[in-house]
Structure 1
Amino acid sequence: MQAGARRYPEPPFPPQHQPKPGDESRLEPAPMYDAPYYKGSEKLKDKVALITGGDSGIGRSVAVLFAREGADVAIVYLSEHKDAEITKQAVEAEGRRALLISGDVTDRSFCDRAVAETVESFGGLDVLVNNAAFQLHADTFEDLTDERFDKTLKTNLYGYFYMARAATPHLKSGGAIVNNGSVTGLMGSKSLLDYSMTKGGIHAFTRSLATHLAPRGVRVNAVAPGPVWSPLNPADKDAEDVAEFGAKTVMKRPAQPEEIAPAFVFLASSHCSSYITGEVLPIIGGYQGG
């Protein structure tokens, strides 16, 4: 089943594996992020957005579409400098400013600095997108070590908390936080116990923070994607498993980042979603499995 504006790749893909955190420039086929048929209409005109994990995958596509809608974008990423530079150039090609900030969202002080640098460079902050994530499959429960459990929680929960706490004092009425959840937080995953737990936590965090920030006029929502073709999975799964990634969904393929990013625009823009807060929007391709 193909339902998009252009043809999207279907499995089997070339078997491939990468060391973490993964490099989008080495992924085959290259993820489709630029959404050439998406036309901007100033939904985020002159807004300032900060996107964690903005160097690649969903984060890159969100950065490009935010810029196309008129926003300046701070791109927070771990260490994938080549990927981040490509994203920066793509944002600038849309006529908007881009700021690269490299660091680890598990570090509270870094999150504070990233927000401060964004505000200093762009004069404010209107939208926070929490997107950075860590996942690693485990064949058995016993394979889930304390160290890996800590890393998953630190990245996926602490990182979201730290960034939201740092950003909130700068978000004025009309501002928005959009968190990246997952189908695994809705359905669970036998091989991603820790990751699924954090994604369920992100959904609960989203709903709770939404009620907390509503009196300030700040909306908080989440997107829960199904399988998406990005460096996250080839930097996790075995090469042979990557070849069939997304084949078990109803659509028989993974989503491309550009198919997920418009949902972030929708939830970030008060033109589109002014009466939506505390919601988790699944985009899972008629999910039956990953």
Structure 2
Amino acid sequence: MPDPTPDPRREHPGERYPGPEFPGQSQEPPGSTEEMAPRPDHGERTYRGSDRLKDRKAVITGGDSGIGRAVAVAFSREGADVLFTHLPEEAGEAEETARLVTEAGRRAVAVPCDIREESECRRVADRAAEEFGTVDVLVNNAAYQMSQPEGIEKIPTEQFDRVVRTNLYGMFWLTQMLLRLIPAGGGIINTTSVQAYQPSPHLLDYAMTKGAIVTFTQGLAAQLAEQGIRVNAVAPGPVWTPLIPSTMPDTTGFGGGSSFGRPAQPAEMAPAYVFLASKEAGFITAEIMNATGGSQLP
């Protein structure tokens, strides 16, 4: 007689997590995980490590929630110590990430800062040098967006400046400042987006920066290959994180256009970062790993 227990190996990807319609919800930036319905999954109960990053040292920007938290959880369960950044107003979220990392038996260093400022990025790099000495993997993940459905004429300079400085300046400065700590065999992983290839009109400035991250990744990979440092990126599609209810006017149908009819959860993105950080990806550089839920990208 067949076993009535569902076999997770045969689980339909579209049915693994909730999809639209979601309850209507709106938050002020940067958003809160606690207030989201449904709550995002960062792999708290599901991610199982296998020492793929044993005793590595990682720096993750935007590690307090969303994809950053999921990567911190996965890295720590794979054996890595984690230093992560967060905005000062995200201290509560950061405490939860730190708890999950230390629960995995690894060191967690939470650094409140605003990576839009060069001096703040320098402080992060100095803290990483003090805490770790070397950095085996840098994950440039922090990002900001704000939907502007009325078009380019309505994007204020304040918003444009915040998007560009968060998504590009912070990534550039931290890479520049931490490079001295990354040894041969180390790596840099940037978070780009499906928006780099299929820009939504209401996210024009955000999409522009994500396209620039693709170019930065590929150019830097060529520059650092001789030093033995790999540079890659992950391009997520729609992912259910606090960024969504805090920057989108209507979240009820979010992610419904993916091939699986739902957005990804942060936990579904983390394995891509683990792979790119691991020795199994030792011959992979200048690669953009698409995790878009079916969007056909270049």
Q: Structure 2 length normalisation: TM-score?
A: 0.92
**Residue of structure 1 in register with 2:245 after alignment:** 234
Match of 1:186 in 2: 197
| C-alpha deviation, 1:4, in angstroms | 4.5
- 1:134-153 to structure 2, matched below 5 A, reads 134-139=144-149, 140-153=151-164
Partner of 1:69: 78
- The equivalent position to 2:16 in structure 1, one of 4, 7, 26, is 7
Residue 121 of structure 2: aligned partner: 111
The corresponding residue for 2:281 is: 273
Shift of 1:89: 0.3
Query: Any gaps of 5 or more consecutive residues in structure 1?
Result: none
1:5 and 1:37 in contact (8 A); partners too: no
Q: CA, structure 1 residues 227+5, in 2 after alignment: closer, same or farther (shift >3 Å)?
A: closer
Relative to structure 1, is the Cα distance of residues 242 and 2 closer, same or farther in structure 2, using a 3 angstrom cutoff?
A: farther
Secondary structure of the 1:76 match is: strand
The 2-side partners of 1:69 and 1:45 are apart by 6
In the alignment, the residues of structure 1 paired with residue 237 and residue 146 of structure 2 have an alpha-carbon distance, to the nearest angstrom, of 16
Q: TM-score, normalised by structure 1?
A: 0.95
Letter of the 2:118 counterpart: R
Structure 2: distance between partners of 1:243 and 1:284: 19
Quick one: distance in 1 between partners of 2:213 and 2:79?
A: 28
Q: Deviations over 1:20-45 (max 9, x none)?
A: 11111211111001264432121111
How far apart in 2 are the matches of 1:93 and 1:169? 30
Q: CA deviation at 1:252?
A: 0.6
Identity of aligned residues (%): 47
**Once structures 1 and 2 are overlaid, which stretch shifts more, 102-111 or 138-147?**
138-147
Stretch deviating more after TM superposition (115-124 or 46-55):
115-124
Does 1:130 find its partner at 2:140?
yes
Deviation at 1:90, TM superposition (A): 0.4
Q: Distance in 2 between matches of 1:48 and 1:187?
A: 34
What's the secondary structure of 2:272's corresponding residue? helix
Contact 1:2 1:251 in 2 (8 A): no
The alignment yields a C-alpha RMSD, in angstroms, of: 1.6
Secondary structure at 1:234 match in 2: helix
Q: Secondary structure at the match of 2:197?
A: helix
C-alpha deviations, 1:123-162, integer Å up to 9, x for none? Answer: 3211100000010111122111222111111110101101
Secondary structure class of the residue paired with 1:184: helix
The runs of at least 4 consecutive aligned structure 1 residues that moved more than 6 Å come to none
Across the two proteins, how many residue pairs are aligned to each other?
Answer: 285
The alignment status of 1:91 with 2:87, answered yes or no, reads no
Partners in 1 of 2:12 and 2:222 — Cα distance? 36
2:201 counterpart SS class: coil
C-alpha contact (below 8 Å) 2:133/2:181 kept by paired residues:
no
3-state SS in 1 of match to 2:84: strand
